[in-house]
Amino acid sequence: MPRQPIPIPHRVESLSVLDANGNLDRELEPEISEDDLRRLYKYLVSARMLDERCFKMQRQGRIGTYAPTRGQEAASLGIAYVLTPDDWMVPSFRESAAMLWRGWSMERMFLYWGGHELGTTPPEGVNDTPIAVPVASQCSYGPGIAWGLKLRRQGRICAAFVGDGGTSEGDFHEGMNFAGVYQLPYIQVVQNNHWAISLPRYKQTASPTIAQKAIAYGFDAIQVDGNDLLAVIVAMREAAEKARTGGGPTLIEAVTYRLGVHTTADDPKKYRDEKEVEEWLPRDPIPRFRKYLHTKGVLNDQQDQAILDEIKAELDAATKSYEEYKVDPLGFFHHMYSEMTPELIAQKAELEAYLSGHEPAQDKTERYSRVL
């Protein structure tokens, strides 16, 4: 028998609406109100200024280790813009623009990176999961949420984020397979920033794109310019409509670039040529979108400055509120069990006494035998 080509129904496309200089392909321009365009710009800049503030605060010892988002703001904001409040969003750890749009306050973001429990708690009424640092773990529970949404038949969808490094983890492939088999209302977003800490993208996979991996799991994919906010919105609108109407999942590969360090514990100069970074600087999503808005007559210099001033005031207020936040040192005793065990009751009493300056005088051997 002669060899026969296997028909594969699924497609992979590439999309860009704005070029690197902010020039528009009018045929692909999405319909977005002028008010929304200005709001989107504000959130792009808010995420950038929050990022800069967090970086400085980490260097000053005012928050813990921080993962910058500089250069990747459009890749998450475009996704969040299309989601409704009833939909679910599952972030990784570089989605601050999306989280701000979804209702997370700057103060809560500071609290997360400062190590406070409240920072991991989604705001009331926000259908998001907390930041996920364990790489690709969210690719397992994201499809789980989508499965629940499908069973409820309410037309709601779930979008989950992962980096290109996370696509080398088993969780990513298990989640993709599950989403494909059950045709879930799910969008898997890959922020391909070209670096998994110090490992370049070409050393992670031999496939020309990450998007094409969706074909193996039985659904469509699209590769977008992740630094082009309009392209991300167009791709997400198509994927969301398909998911809501029973068409199954989509993989969106947002091609972007990590302009800064992986985290503040990292030094990319040890493994990355700075010339590569310089080549990506002109593709920064904020100047491109700003030029588009100015050309369209939606934003002028005066409005731009007013937005910057407003964001700075919000940042200053959030920083002050974060640094005045009072932590209950006894709070963690209450969140392990519905009723505290005798050991925890004893330990709490001991800590209370210590904090009040009246530490019990028991022998240390007796004291610690209670928990052994």
Give the residue numbers annotated as catalytic, written as ranges. 258, 262, 271
What angle (nearest 5°) sits at the alpha carbon of residue 272, between those of residues 266 and 275? Answer: 130
Q: Angle between the 170-181 and 138-152 helix axes, to the nearest 10 degrees?
A: 20
Strands 88-90 vs 158-163: parallel, antiparallel or unpaired: parallel
Contact, 175 vs 135, CB < 8 A? no
Give residues with Cβ within 8 angstroms of 95, minimum separation 6: 69, 76, 80, 89, 131, 161
Nearest Cα neighbor of 22 from 227, 237, 223, 278 is 227
Strands 88-90 vs 12-15: parallel, antiparallel or unpaired: unpaired
Residue 168 CA to residue 179 CA, distance in Å, equals 17
Residue 296 CA to residue 227 CA, distance in Å, equals 19
Contact, 226 vs 256, CB < 8 A? yes
158: which 2 tokens? Answer: 């779930």
